[in-house]
Amino acid sequence: MNFSTLGYHIVADFWGVDFQLFNNADWLETRLVEAAEIAGATVCSVQSKQFQPQGATVLVLLSESHLSIHTYPEKGFAALDCYACGGEADTERMIEHLLAVFMPEEIYAQKLTRGQGNIAVYSPVFLQDNN
């Protein structure tokens, strides 16, 4: 069987999100797993940590790679990282779902094409549509 090394990696900063949404590791786990499944990814495991007095980190291990979030609820900020390679999982669809869930006031993102030599960097479609 021949597998492709081609993969898409999105890094995104979400700003201006309600404190409560970013301060509940269990709820975040559910939303990230939901995003992965909607995008056609295979979830292998989930790890999370609720920080005190606030903040959370969630890592969803995928057969295709990973989806993660690290939150700073007191600042309305989260750093997201989404990478999938060698399959049908759609990283843009994962982030688009999380955009709909969190409804950030601002988003900054870059999409990398990996596994073909030079890493190509460009804006994801969901950012291009909003310009």
Give residue-wise pLDDT tens across range 23-74. Answer: 999 999 999 999 999 999 999 999 999 999 999 999 999 999 999 999 999 9
Rounded Cα–Cα distance for residues 25 and 39 (Å):
21
Q: At 3, is the pLDDT very low, low, confident or very high (cuts 50, 70, 90)?
A: low
Given a cut of 80, whether residue 102 has pLDDT beyond it is yes
Question: What confidence score (pLDDT) does residue 5 get?
Answer: 86
Three-state SS at 39: coil
| Phi, psi values for residue 87, rounded to 5° | -155, -155
Structure confidence at residue 40 (pLDDT): 97
> What is the predicted pLDDT for the residue at 129?
56
- Residues with a catalytic annotation lie at 65, 70, 85
Looking at per-residue pLDDT, the higher value among 37 and 5 belongs to 37
Residues 6+ apart with CB under 8 A from 45: 60, 61
Cα atoms in the Cβ-side hemisphere of radius 13 Å centred on 98: 35
Query: Whole-number mean pLDDT of the chain?
Result: 93
Q: Which domains does the chain have, with CATH numbers?
A: 7-128 (3.60.90.10)
Residues 6+ apart with CB under 8 A from 25: 48, 49, 50, 56, 57, 58
Q: In the chain, what percentage of residues exceed pLDDT 90?
A: 80
pLDDT given at position 86:
82
How far apart CA 23 and CA 65 sit, in angstroms, is 25
